[in-house]
Structure 1
Amino acid sequence: MTRKYDLLTLGRSSIDLYSANVGSPFEKIEAFNAFVGGCPLNIATGSRRLGLNTAILTGVGNDQVGNFIKHFLDQEGIVTDWVPTIEGTRSSAVVLGIEPPDKFPLVYYRENCADIHLNIDHVAAIPFQDFRAAAFSGTAFSKDPSRTAMFYALELAKKNQVTRLLDIDFRADQWFDPRAFGVTIRAALSSFNIVVGTEEEILATFLTDKEQLLIKHQQISAPEIRGNIENAIQEILESGVETLVVKRGKDGASIFQPDKAEIKVPGFPVEVLNVLGAGDAFCAGFSYGLLSGWDLYKSVRMGNACGAIIVTREGCANFMPAYQEVMDFVAGYGGL
C-alpha cells in the first residue's frame, strides 16, 4: 500500500533561546539567539531536510511565539495540517547556556504549555493510514491530556500498521516524580516497534529510587543515573520491542534485538560545541535510513553522522544537516 507521508512526529515544540556567549557562565550571559526546538520538532526538521515527507502533531498557543514556531515549520516544508492553536495556553520556551565541552544548563518554561494540551480529538483528526512511521517522545506522556492522547495515537498507529518509534526523551523536571516516568513508559513499551535512548534514559525507564538520579548544573538533558544497564536493556527487549538502539555519544551506538548479539555501530569523532539536539538529529538520520529501506547498521550509522554534525553547531532544528551535507561529512570517514 502506498502511503502519502513518510513520518509523523508527535509532542513538544518550543522557542529555544540559546546563549550567544559561548563559554560564558549562565549568570554572565549577555544575549541570546532565538531558534526553535523540542524533540519531535527537531526530528521532523532533520528528517525533512534529509528528504522525507514529514508532518508534525504539536500544539502552539495563540501568541507570537506560536507564530514563530509555525513560520519555521512552514518554511521547512513540514506538514502542519494537524498543529492546533490551543486557546488559553502558551507556546513553550527553553533557555540554554553553552559551556563546552560538558556544561549545558537548561531551563524549561512549560507551565500551561500548549503541546501538553494535545487531546484525543487532535489525534483523531490525523489520517494514520497515510503514514509509514510515527516517532513519539517520552515527554509527551508526562501529563494529561497529552498522555492519554499519545496512548490513543499509539492505538491508531498500531491499528493502521504504522511503524512506531519511541525516543525516550527523559526530562526529569517535567514529571511530578521521576519514577512516574518509568511507570508510564513501561506501560507503553509493548506498543512500540523501535525504542531509542541513551544509557541514562534506559536506566530512567526502570528508576525505583529517587536517589539513583543526580542532575548537576541544571543539565536536565544529561542526568547521572545509577542502575544495571544490562538488566534494563533486557527488560525492554522482553516487553515486546523489536529493536532497541542505545546511543553512546562519541562511542556511537549499539543495536539490540531479542535473541541476537549486540551490534556496535561506530560514531564520528568531532569537537563538541553543543550536545543539545544530537539525539534528535540521530533519530532523524536513523528514521531516514529505515524508511529508505537501509539495514539497521547503515541506518544507525546515518543517525550517528547526523548527531555528530549537530554537536559541532550552535543549536538544534535550525542547524539540522541536509542529505548532501551528511554524505560529504561521512565521505571523510570512509562513508556509511
Structure 2
Amino acid sequence: MAAVVLLGDINIDLVLAIPAYPGVGGEAIATGQTAMIGGSATNTAFALAKAGHDCRLIGRLGTDSWGREALSELAAAGISTRWIGRDDREPTQINVITVSPAGERTMFAYRGANARLSATDVDPAAFAGAALFHLSGYALLEPYQTESALTAIDIAVDADIPVTLDIPGGVVADIVAQIRALLPRVDTIMLGSADLPVLLEQPGAEDEEKLVAMLLESGVRRVAMKGSDGKPSCLYRTGKTARAPWFPVEVVDTVGAGDAFAAGHIHGRVTGLTDPDCCRIANAYGAVAVTRKGAGRAMPTKDEVLEFLKKADDPT
C-alpha cells in the first residue's frame, strides 16, 4: 500500500455521554465515559493504517503519561512515531467532548504540546517515497504549528507529492487567510458546505457550484464537499463533478466522522479509484464511523467499510 504523511493534532479524547446540556453554572451527570486517543490527523492515520497504508504522523506530545499512552497506541496501530516530538513545557492535548443522545458532539480543548510543533520538527526524510501529504486544518490555528505546516507543504510540493487539506467544521473563520494563501499549492481541499461561503467571504451565498468554481479558480485542483443528512458528497474538478449519496445510518457518535471521510478519499485516491468511487468510499467510511463510540482506534477498517458497501448494494 501507499506511504502517506500526515501532520496535525495528537490528543486524548475524554468523551462524556450526557442526557441534556445544563445551563450556565449547572451540572450534567454523564451516562457514559470513554478515554481514547484522537486528533483530526491522528484519526485519519488510524483509518489509513487499518487499510494497510504506511502512515507517517508528524506531531508533538507532552512528556506526561498521556503522551506515553498515545505513543504506545500509535505504535500498536502500525503508525510511525519516528517524527513525533515530545515537549517538556506543555502537556499532551486533552479534549473534553460531550455527546448528546442524538450523537452530536460538543468539544472543549486545550491544544497544549500540539501548538508548539515547529518548522524544525518537520524532517524531509518523512516524505521519502510518499504518495500523498495530508494536513489537518487545526494545524493552522497557532503560529508555530502553522510554520510546521508550511514547511511540510514546501517539502511535499518540491517533491511533487499531492497535498490534501481537511477543514474541520467550526474553525474555518479563524484560518481563512492561511487557507486562501495555501490554495494554489493544495491538490484537494475537504470541507463542509456550511464552511464554503465563510472561506470565500461570501456570507449568505447558497449556490454551491458557483462557490466551488470560485475556489477552483483560486488554484486548488479538487474540492471534496462532505456529505451528510441525506446530502450527497461531491468531488469537483474544473469541468467535472462526481457525486455519491450519503448512507442512512443510526448515528451513535459524530466524533471523527470527517476524519474518516478524509481517510476514505485518500484511500481511494492513492489506490486509483475513480472520482465517483472516491466519493462513495469516503461516505462509507464516515457512515461506519458515526455508528460507534469515539474515534482513534475505533476508526473503521477497510474490510468493515467494504462489507458495509456490499450490504448497501444488496440489503437482502
Q: Does TM, scored on the shorter chain, surpass 0.5?
A: yes
Q: Which residue of 2 aligns with 1:195?
A: 189
Counterpart contact for 1:265–1:301, Cα < 8 Å: yes
Distance 2:157 2:222 in 1: 16
Moved more, 188-197 or 326-335: 326-335
Secondary structure of the equivalent of 2:266? Answer: helix
Residue identity over aligned pairs, in percent, reads 26
Distance 1:63 1:126 in 2: 27
> After the TM superposition, which residues 4-15 of structure 1 pair with which residues of structure 2 at under 5 Å, given as runs?
6-15=3-12
Distance 2:52 2:313 in 1: 22
1:185 and 2:179 aligned: yes
Counterpart contact for 1:158–1:191, Cα < 8 Å: yes
Structure with the higher strand share, 1 or 2: 2
Q: Which residue of 2 aligns with 1:279?
A: 258
Distance 2:279 2:99 in 1: 27
Counterpart contact for 2:200–2:215, Cα < 8 Å: no
Moved more, 159-168 or 125-134: 125-134
Following TM superposition, by how much is the alpha carbon of 1:325 offset from its aligned partner in structure 2, in angstroms?
1.2
Following TM superposition, by how much is the alpha carbon of 1:24 offset from its aligned partner in structure 2, in angstroms?
4.7
Amino acid at match of 1:16: D
Counterpart contact for 1:203–1:229, Cα < 8 Å: no
Q: Which residue of 2 aligns with 1:96?
A: 97
Distance 1:77 1:258 in 2: 37
Distance 2:252 2:81 in 1: 31
Alignment coverage as a number of residue pairs: 307
Distance 1:322 1:248 in 2: 20
Secondary structure of the equivalent of 1:89? Answer: coil
In structure 2, runs of 5+ residues without a counterpart are none
1:295 and 2:274 aligned: yes
Q: Which residue of 1 aligns with 2:155?
A: 156
Secondary structure of the equivalent of 1:151? Answer: helix
1:258 and 2:238 aligned: yes
Q: Which residue of 2 aligns with 1:315?
A: 294
Distance 1:166 1:184 in 2: 12
Distance 2:139 2:207 in 1: 24
Q: Which residue of 2 aligns with 1:328?
A: 307
Counterpart contact for 2:169–2:192, Cα < 8 Å: no
In structure 1, runs of 5+ residues without a counterpart are 173-177, 213-225
Distance 2:191 2:12 in 1: 24
1:67-111 alpha-carbon deviations (Å, 9 max, x no partner): 12111101101011100112211111111111132642211122x
Q: Which residue of 2 aligns with 1:77?
A: 78
1:141 and 2:140 aligned: yes
Cα root mean square deviation, aligned: 2.0
Q: Which residue of 1 aligns with 2:15?
A: 18
Moved more, 40-49 or 281-290: 281-290
Secondary structure of the equivalent of 1:329? Answer: helix
1:120 and 2:95 aligned: no
1:24-54 alpha-carbon deviations (Å, 9 max, x no partner): 5463234521011111000000111112111
Counterpart contact for 1:6–1:291, Cα < 8 Å: no
**C-alpha distance 126-229 of structure 1, shift in aligned 2 (>3 A):** farther
Distance 1:145 1:84 in 2: 14
Distance 2:227 2:161 in 1: 27
1:88-135 alpha-carbon deviations (Å, 9 max, x no partner): 11111111111132642211122xx11121111111354323211011
Amino acid at match of 1:124: D
Amino acid at match of 1:80: T
Q: Which residue of 2 aligns with 1:216?
A: none
Counterpart contact for 1:5–1:55, Cα < 8 Å: no
Distance 1:180 1:97 in 2: 23
**C-alpha distance 102-200 of structure 1, shift in aligned 2 (>3 A):** farther
Secondary structure of the equivalent of 1:300? Answer: helix
Counterpart contact for 2:15–2:35, Cα < 8 Å: yes
Distance 2:127 2:228 in 1: 33
Counterpart contact for 1:96–1:106, Cα < 8 Å: yes
Amino acid at match of 1:199: S
Moved more, 317-326 or 149-158: 317-326
**C-alpha distance 114-139 of structure 1, shift in aligned 2 (>3 A):** same
TM-score, normalised relative to structure 1: 0.86
Amino acid at match of 2:41: P
Following TM superposition, by how much is the alpha carbon of 1:138 offset from its aligned partner in structure 2, in angstroms?
1.0
Counterpart contact for 2:2–2:270, Cα < 8 Å: no
Counterpart contact for 1:41–1:56, Cα < 8 Å: yes
Secondary structure of the equivalent of 2:255? Answer: coil
Amino acid at match of 1:247: K
Counterpart contact for 1:50–1:285, Cα < 8 Å: no
Counterpart contact for 1:137–1:167, Cα < 8 Å: yes
